[in-house]
Amino acid sequence: MTVSHEWPLYEIFVRARGGLDHKHVGSLHATDAQMAIEHARDLYTRRLEGVSLWVVRSQDIVASDPNEAEALFEPARDKVYRHPTFYDIPSGVKTL
Amino acid sequence: MNAILDGDRGSVEAQRFDFVLQLADTNLILGQRLGEWVGHAPAIEEDLGLANIALDLIGQARHFLSYAGECEGRQRTEDDLAFLRSEHEYRNATLAEQPNGDFGQTIVRQVLVDIYQLELYSRLQSSTDPRIAAICAKALKETRYHARYSAGWLVRLGDGTEESHRRVQQALDLLWPYTAELFDASGSDRALAAAGIAPPLSEVSEAWHSRIDSLLAEATLRRPKDIPFRWQGRRGVHSEHLGFVLADLQFMQRAFPGARW
């Protein structure tokens, strides 16, 4: 096991520009949050990809259980009426 | 001490050329040294971190070298100056050419240079030489990040495990004697300060020492004793290591003169 694998994993979120939300871009190893920010800056924003960074310890993320995917997501499959496709969109509205 | 060693080289123009070369070469040689880590750093994240800093430093060196070429007025380009000078014509601080050692030693060398550049550039921003002022104002943004990176690591390692503490203290003891040169004002340095081109080195020294002292305290490291000996890299007299760095750096242009890609 190399040193880097003893470092905790962090998930990295980058905000591309003001007004947009932070998007998940990947993960990296770091000893602490400060180092995670610095590594994220070096790894994920070196080509002007962002104006803001979030880092979150991967272990702090609570994920849904893939085994429950059926129960969680399947029931939505036959409820097409939940999509707002039955409305007429007024012609003047541009941003909908 | 002879005239060259005293840095007393006649006209302000010659002194300006020499000074810009000092700024360029410290960046160029340290950038080359950091580049040696690529593929060898203790973690892939650090590999990229060090490579990023190396590229920043080489980018700064390019600006300074181009300007040095203009100051000299002999039509030498940044590439001519980077690749086609011999060892005694390089003006980098001797500290920059010291070997990488382990990661801790690289970090100690880096933090000593970063804080020096931080204090130097922030003053050079108001140099009476507008080109130097502009390059330093731009470089300072990068340098602030470099100092944050290296200072962060110094504290982590110094205040880390018993072994990391022992290793960075050893590296500090090894490299400390090279720092006196940074503030050792020659006749040329004093003339540049009088012309407002560069800050008085005593002022940079004071700011550097105060920052380093508080950083060492935070990292639980002991500041080594000063020794009277002064290295003279900024005046072209180098340690035995620079030749090997240049062999790597210059090989392509020496073997294939004028090669481009």
Predicted local confidence at residue B3, as pLDDT: 41
Predicted local confidence at residue B12, as pLDDT: 87
Q: Are A30 and A36 in contact (CB under 8 A)?
A: yes
Cβ atoms < 10 Å from Cβ of B152: 17
Number of domain units in chain B:
1
The answer to the question of residue B205 being in a domain is yes
Confirm or reject contact between A47 and chain B (CB < 8 A): no
Task: Express each pLDDT in B159-204 by its tens digit.
Answer: 999 999 999 999 999 999 999 999 999 999 999 999 999 999 999 9
Residue B117, by phi and psi: left (phi above 0), alpha (psi -120 to 50) or beta? alpha
The answer to the question of residue A93 being in a domain is no
Does A43 contact B156 at a Cβ distance shorter than 8 Å? no
Give dist(CA B242, CA B248) in Å, integer: 10
Does B48 contact A38 at a Cβ distance shorter than 8 Å? no
The answer to the question of residue A47 being in a domain is yes
Query: Residue B142 is part of a domain; what is its CATH number?
Result: 1.20.1260.10
Kind of pairing between the strands at A52-57 and A22-29: unpaired
Its domain, for residue B189, covers 12-255
Predicted local confidence at residue A51, as pLDDT: 95
Query: Residue A58 is part of a domain; what is its CATH number?
Result: 3.10.20.520
pTM: 0.87
Is 70 exceeded by the pLDDT of residue B104? yes
Predicted local confidence at residue A46, as pLDDT: 87
A59 DSSP assignment: G
The answer to the question of residue A96 being in a domain is no
Which residue has tokens 């070196």? A46
Number of domain units in chain A:
1
- Residue A31 is nearest to which of B44, B149, B156, comparing CB atoms? B156
Q: Give me the mean pLDDT over the B53-76 stretch.
A: 97
Does B43 contact A29 at a Cβ distance shorter than 8 Å? yes
The answer to the question of residue B91 being in a domain is yes
In sequence order, which residues have a C-beta less than 8 Å from that of residue B181 and are 6 or more positions away?
Answer: B93, B94, B95, B230, B231, B232, B233, B234
Give dist(CA A71, CA A56) in Å, integer: 28
Q: Are B231 and B88 in contact (CB under 8 A)?
A: no
The answer to the question of residue A15 being in a domain is yes
Does B48 contact A43 at a Cβ distance shorter than 8 Å? yes
Cβ atoms < 10 Å from Cβ of B46: 24
The answer to the question of residue A32 being in a domain is yes
The answer to the question of residue A35 being in a domain is yes
Predicted local confidence at residue A96, as pLDDT: 65
The answer to the question of residue B1 being in a domain is no
Task: Express each pLDDT in A84-96 by its tens digit.
Answer: 777 788 888 877 6
Predicted local confidence at residue A37, as pLDDT: 96
Regarding predicted confidence, which is higher, A71 or B154?
B154
Its domain, for residue A9, covers 3-82
Task: Express each pLDDT in B3-27 by its tens digit.
Answer: 444 444 578 889 999 999 999 999 9
Q: What is the DSSP string of B137-149?
A: HHHHHHHHHHHHH
Tally C-beta pairs within 8 A across A and B. Answer: 32
Predicted local confidence at residue B7, as pLDDT: 46
Find, in chain A, the residue whose alpha carbon is nearest to that of B147.
A38
Confirm or reject contact between B48 and chain A (CB < 8 A): yes
Burial A40-79 (b: 16+ CB within 10 A, else e): bbbbbbeeeebeebbbbeeeeeeeeeeeeeeeeeeeeeee
A21 DSSP assignment: P
Choose among B103, B98, B85: nearest CA to B42: B103
Predicted local confidence at residue B261, as pLDDT: 75
Q: Give me the mean pLDDT over the A4-26 stretch.
A: 91
Residue B220, by phi and psi: left (phi above 0), alpha (psi -120 to 50) or beta? left
Q: Give me the mean pLDDT over the B59-64 stretch.
A: 98
Strand order in the sheet with A22-29: A22-29, A9-15, A52-57
Q: Give me the mean pLDDT over the B243-251 stretch.
A: 97
Pick from A39, A45, A46, A53 the residue to mutate for testing the B interface (most B CBs within 10 Å). A39
Predicted local confidence at residue A94, as pLDDT: 77
The answer to the question of residue B2 being in a domain is no
Predicted local confidence at residue A87, as pLDDT: 78
The answer to the question of residue B230 being in a domain is yes
The answer to the question of residue B143 being in a domain is yes
B43 vs A contacts (CB less than 8 Å): 2-4, 7, 29
pLDDT band per the 50, 70, 90 thresholds, residue A64? very high
A54 DSSP assignment: E
Average of per-residue pLDDT values in chain B: 95
Find, in chain A, the residue whose alpha carbon is nearest to that of B153.
A35
- Strand intervals (E) in chain A: 9-15, 22-29, 52-57
Task: Express each pLDDT in B70-101 by its tens digit.
Answer: 999 999 999 999 999 999 999 999 999 999 99
In sequence order, which residues have a C-beta less than 8 Å from that of residue B257 and are 6 or more positions away?
Answer: none
Cβ atoms < 10 Å from Cβ of B253: 16
